[in-house]
Amino acid sequence: MTSPYLRRRRLGDELRKLREEHGLTTDELARLIYQSRSKISKMENAQIRPDLAEIVSILNVLEVTGRRYDKIHELAHAAARKGWWDRYGNAMGPRQRLYADLESGAASIHSYNQTAFPAVLQIPEFIDAMVTLDRCQGSLDYRPERMADARTRRQQHLLGPDGPTYEAVLDECMIHRLAVPPAVKAAQLRHLIKIVSTDERITMRVLPSDVPIPGGFLPKASFFLYTFPDPSDPPMGVVDTVTADVVLAQEDELSRYTGLYDRLRQAALSVDDTLAFLEGLANRLAYQTESDA
């Protein structure tokens, strides 16, 4: 399935280009189709699912015909399509819906994980522990049981026959500092070891805390980079901040993050050394749990 969000981004670009070619502001176009300025702005910025009737109104009022009409109309249909995540509404959280959408059509995903293990590879016990930590920071904007169910659906897609390739760089500091019970952390580590050992599409590397990363500044947040099978779909990225996810679509932005990822990957352990590191840590955590019992 092609990511509807990706199609909304392309549709928004086409609509903006079309409006600017006709010398119209968002206010002026809104008046022509009897809609609000905010509606036009949200469509151009991929913030809402397009209404096909409104897209047709824009094409008609701007006298778009022929192949261009067909192209934009086809984009609008794809952008309006719903995915399995839409059935959850806000219960799974708006941020997770974005990731599920992008993953649905991705060919490859590269992630730098500074604050948690990859969400798409978390076990239920670890998810529960993360919800407990999240509650410490205030009210939740999702329903934990629905969020956990949706996260499981994401993992099923990732590990399914049509799933993308996935490579993650795990910051060692995160692994040690994340305040979840040792037994849960050990089980999560063993889950990652099993997946990486049995699925050649999934790669994981630990970035040691004592290794310098030459060539520039250190990363300031976790981030994700996506490529897609359709050559006309450009790569995209998402930066995970405390309060929001920042979508990267401009070539210069993506180039900087791709370069940063390459530097992190080069400084990280090899896959074999990573598995040995995770196995050793899981054993120590299991021993700690037994000693505390």
Closest C-alpha among 102, 105, 121 to residue 113: 121
167 Cβ neighbours under 8 A, 6+ residues apart: 108, 109, 110, 111, 202, 203, 204, 205, 265
Do 183 and 105 lie in a common domain? yes
- Find the domain containing 76 and state its range: 4-80
Do 155 and 240 lie in a common domain? yes
Do 169 and 24 lie in a common domain? no
* Model pLDDT, residue 281: 97
Q: How far is CA 183 from CA 19, 77, 131, 144, 289, in A?
A: 57, 47, 16, 21, 6
Domain end position, chosen among 29, 54, 80: 80
* Model pLDDT, residue 22: 96
231 Cβ neighbours under 8 A, 6+ residues apart: none
Helix (H, G, I), strand (E, B) or coil at 246: strand
Domain end position, chosen among 57, 80, 103: 80
Divide the 293 residues of the chain into consecutive groups of 10 and give the mean pLDDT of each group: 90 96 96 94 93 95 96 95 92 92 96 96 96 94 94 94 96 96 96 96 97 95 96 93 91 96 98 98 87 66
Do 76 and 93 lie in a common domain? no
* Model pLDDT, residue 243: 87
Do 76 and 109 lie in a common domain? no
In DSSP terms, 110 is beta-bridged to: 167, 225
Do 11 and 96 lie in a common domain? no
When computed from its CA atoms, the radius of gyration of the chain, rounded to whole angstroms, is: 22
* Model pLDDT, residue 231: 87
Do 104 and 55 lie in a common domain? no
Do 99 and 61 lie in a common domain? no
* Model pLDDT, residue 64: 96
CATH of the domain at 21: 1.10.260.40
Do 207 and 283 lie in a common domain? yes
Question: Strand 245-248 vs strand 236-240: parallel, antiparallel, or unpaired?
Answer: antiparallel
Specify the number of domains making up the chain.
2
Do 235 and 154 lie in a common domain? yes
Domain end position, chosen among 80, 107, 141: 80
Q: Give residue 111's identity as a one-letter amino acid code.
A: S
Residues 142, 145, 151, 154: is their CA dihedral positive or negative? negative
Do 41 and 111 lie in a common domain? no
Do 241 and 183 lie in a common domain? yes
* Model pLDDT, residue 5: 93
CATH of the domain at 204: 3.30.870
* Model pLDDT, residue 291: 67
